[in-house]
Structure 1
Amino acid sequence: MGWQSVGLVVVLHMALLIGPGSGIGANWGTQATHPLPPSIVVKMLKDNGFEKVKLFDADANILKALSKSGIQVMVGIPNDMLLSLANSEQAAQNWVAQNVSSHAVDIRYVAVGNEPFLAAYNGTYIGLLLPALQNVQSALVKAGLASQVKVTVPLNADVYQSSSNLPSDGDFRSDIHQLMLQIVQFLNDNGSPFTINIYPFISLYNDPNFPTDFAFFDGASSSAINDGGRVYDNVFDANHDTLVWALQKNGYGNLSIIVGEIGWPTDGDKNANPKFAQQFNQGFMSRVTAGKGTPMRPSPVNAYLFSLIDEDAKSIQPGNFERHWGLFYFDGTPKYPLTLTSSNGLVPAKDVQYQAKKWCVMSPMASLDDPQVGPSVSYAYF
Structure 2
Amino acid sequence: MDLRFLASLTFLVGIIFINTHTTAGQVGVCYGRYGDNLPSPAETVELFKQKNIKRVRLYSPDHDVLAALRGSDIEVMLGLPNPELQRVASSQSEAEKWVQTNVISYVDDVKFRYVSVGNEVKISDSYSQFLVPAMENIDRAILGAGLDGQIKVSTAVDMGVLEKSYPPSSGSFTGKVMVLMEPIIRFLVNKKSPLHLNLYTYFSYAGNRDQIGLDYALFTASPGTVSDPPRSYQNLFDAMLDAVYSALERSGGESLEVVVSETGWPTAGGIETNMENARIYNNNLISHVKNGTPKRPGKEIETYLFAMYDENVKPTPPDVEKFWGLFHPNKQPKYDVNFG
Scaled by the length of structure 1, the TM-score of the pair is 0.79
SS of residue in 2 equivalent to 1:153 = strand
User: In 2, distance between residues paired with 1:42 and 1:329?
Assistant: 15
SS of 2:189's partner is helix
Q: Which amino acid aligns with 1:301?
A: I
Aligned residue number for residue 330 of structure 1: 329
- Distance (Å, rounded) in 2 between the aligned partners of 1:20 and 1:336: 23
Aligned residue for 2:145?
143
Q: Which residue of 2 aligns with 1:274?
A: 275
Could you say which structure has the larger radius of gyration?
1
Residue number in structure 2 paired with 1:224? 225
State the shift of 1:250 in Å.
Answer: 2.2
2:198 aligns with 197
How far does the alpha carbon of each residue in 1:267-312 deviate from its partner, in whole angstroms, 9 at most, with x for none? 0013111111011111111213xx3110011111110111111111
User: Does 2:113 match 1:112?
Assistant: no
Hey, what does 2:48 align to over in structure 1?
A: 45
Q: CA deviation at 1:313?
A: 1.0
The 8 Å contact of residues 262 and 306 in structure 2, kept in 1 or not, is answered as yes
The answer as to whether partners of 1:22 and 1:51 remain within 8 angstroms in 2 is no
- Percent identical residues: 34
**Residue identity matched to 1:246:** A
Distance 1:151 1:242, change over 3 A: same
What is the deviation of 1:20? 7.4
SS at 1:258's partner residue?
A: strand
Look up the equivalent residue of 1:219 and give its one-letter code.
A
Measured at CA, do residues 297 and 125 of structure 1 come closer, stay the same or move farther in structure 2, by a change above 3 Å? farther
Equivalent position to 1:95, from 81, 98, 110: 98
Distance in 2 of aligned mates of 1:234 and 1:161: 20
Name 1:373's counterpart in structure 2: none
Matched-pair contact (CA < 8 Å) for 1:161–1:242: no
Give 1:263's aligned amino acid: G
After TM superposition, list the pairs within 5 Å mapping 1:237-256 onto structure 2. Answer: 237-256=238-257
Q: Deviations over 1:208-238 (max 9, x none)?
A: 42322221111345x8221122001211111
Structure 1: gaps of 5 or more residues? 1-17, 342-382
Aligned-residue Cα RMSD (Å) equals: 1.8
Inter-partner Cα distance in structure 2 for 1:315 and 1:211: 30
- Rounded Cα–Cα distance in structure 1 between residues aligned with 2:310 and 2:33: 9
Question: Higher relative CO (CA 8 A, sep ≥ 6), structure 1 or 2?
Answer: 2
Q: Is the 8 A contact 2:23 2:54 kept in 1?
A: no
Q: Which residue of 1 aligns with 2:311?
A: 311
* Residue 295 (1) aligns with residue 261 (2): no
Aligned length: 316
2:110 maps to amino acid: V
Contact 2:217 2:237 (C-alpha < 8 Å) held by counterparts: yes
How much has 1:61 moved relative to structure 2?
Answer: 1.0
Aligned equivalents of 2:292, 2:36: Cα separation in 1 = 37
Q: Is the 8 A contact 1:311 1:330 kept in 2?
A: no
Correspondence 1:154 to 2:127: no
Matches of 2:280 and 2:23, distance apart in 1: 28
Which whole-Å CA distance do the structure 1 matches of 2:337 and 2:144 have between them?
43
How far apart are the structure 2 equivalents of 1:220 and 1:201?
18
Aligned to 1:78: 81
Q: Look up the equivalent residue of 2:172 and give its one-letter code.
A: D
Unaligned runs of 5+ in 2: 1-20
CA contact (8 A) 2:26 2:339 kept: no
SS at the partner of 1:231?
strand
Deviation at 1:19, TM superposition (A): 8.3
1:176 aligns with 2:177: yes
Q: Distance in 2 between the 1:270 and 1:331 partners?
A: 26
Secondary structure of the corresponding residue to residue 155 of structure 1: strand
Q: Measured at CA, do residues 326 and 112 of structure 1 come closer, stay the same or move farther in structure 2, by a change above 3 Å?
A: same
SS of residue paired to 2:83: helix
String of CA shifts for 1:229-277, please: whole Å, max 9, x gaps.
Answer: 2001211111000011111122322212100011001000131111110
Distance in 2 between the 1:75 and 1:340 partners? 21
